Amino acid sequence: VWMTDAWQLVLYWGVLVGLGSGSMALAFAATVTNRWFVARRGLVTGILTAAGASGQLVFLPLLSWLVEDHGWRPASVTVALSALAVVPFVWLLLRDHPADVRLTPYGGEYVPRPAPARGAARRAVTVLLKAARTGPFWLLAGSFAICGATTNGLVRTHFAPAAHDHGMPLTAAAGLLAVIGVFDVVGTIASGWFTDRFSTRRLLAVYYALRGVSLLFLPMLLAPAVHPPMIFFIVFYGLDWVATVPPTIALCREQYGDDSAIVFGWVLASHQVGAAVVAFAGGVARDVFGTYDPVWYASGALCAAAALMALVIRRPRADAPALAGA
């Protein structure tokens, strides 16, 4: 809130906030799920992912009101104080391993606390190099990059400006994004439940295909006022927003075993890269063409490619070695 130059925005918001939010992202949820749960892992992953989406529901309307009436600094202070308020709860209540509180993982047997891991950075790089020699890693990374491109990079970044191009007030557009957060909670928890019961490859293919179809229709729905077809799009897109996370984590676990949380961390990095590329490319396209329409159509085609990537991921052979020992 005290910055005065553009480089400070890049440093504070881009680098420091990026590092903080990235450290608390879905790879952390994958680690927690792997350690604390054996049964219902898909459902738990969906609930943890949906918990993050609920923040969008709570904060977006509030922050848009603050920015509109009081400027961006009070909005930044609100986010900062909210993050700091969570610190005591994490410090006092969160534990690293079930053995720390003499519990067994849900649906499993008691596991002693492992010795403190050393060389975590080296292991992360080693796992990446091994995973990068396998086809499923690139299919998962590619499809999840498209997931990031079509959520954080596209809709979260450019939906409000695109709606504003068509005369919709900023607060109305932010309210629609908040509605996406409402249905994201429902869709992601349901996706976790489906992941425990159905083929993860087919689930991913369906999610990406439906997302692509909805993006192709979006240019026809943008208007100065919120109307029923736009509400339908918001509900539909919200249900699919991060429904891809539980089956993607499950596929990482299926393919890479004990190293799955680390592999998913790298797959998640591709998600963020995809989001960054499309966030920038979408703005460039808007400046060049004077409209976001080509961006929506191109993203719909990308979702079709992601659906195909999900379908061609093969199940690992029963006799295939684990990644750590490959």
CATH number at residue 254: 1.20.1250.20
CA distances from 263 to 199, 268, 277, 288 (A): 20, 9, 21, 37
Average pLDDT over residues 235-246: 88
CA distances from 121 to 125, 127, 131 (A): 6, 10, 15
pLDDT tens sequence across 259-298: 888 999 999 999 999 999 999 999 999 999 999 999 999 9
Q: Which residues lie closer than 8 Å to 102 by C-beta, 6 or more apart?
A: none
Asked if residue 324 belongs to a domain, the reply is: no
- Burial of 124 by CB count in 10 Å (0-12 exposed, 13-18 middle, 19+ buried)? middle
**Hey, how many other C-beta atoms are within 10 angstroms of the C-beta on 54?**
14
Structure tokens at 197: 């019961």
Domain of residue 118 covers 6-315
**Is 129 within 8 Å of 324 (Cβ atoms)?**
no
CA distances from 148 to 16, 70, 72, 299 (A): 20, 31, 25, 11
- Nearest of 117, 131, 144, 177 to residue 26 by alpha carbon: 144
d(CA 175, CA 71): 18
**Is 66 within 8 Å of 74 (Cβ atoms)?**
yes
pLDDT at 206: 94
Asked if residue 78 belongs to a domain, the reply is: yes
Asked if residue 1 belongs to a domain, the reply is: no
Asked if residue 194 belongs to a domain, the reply is: yes
The residue behind tokens 């992953």 is 45
Provide the number of structural domains found in the chain: 1
Asked if residue 325 belongs to a domain, the reply is: no
Asked if residue 226 belongs to a domain, the reply is: yes
pLDDT at 211: 94
Would you say residue 299 has pLDDT above 80? Answer: yes
Asked if residue 321 belongs to a domain, the reply is: no
Would you say residue 324 has pLDDT above 50? Answer: no
pLDDT tens sequence across 130-154: 999 999 999 999 999 999 999 989 9
Predicted TM-score (pTM) of the model is: 0.81
Backbone angles phi, psi at 106, to 5 degrees: -60, 125
Confidence band of 40 (pLDDT split at 50, 70, 90): confident
Average pLDDT over residues 82-88: 91
Asked if residue 213 belongs to a domain, the reply is: yes
Average pLDDT over residues 58-73: 82
Confidence band of 325 (pLDDT split at 50, 70, 90): very low
Structure tokens at 120: 């975590």
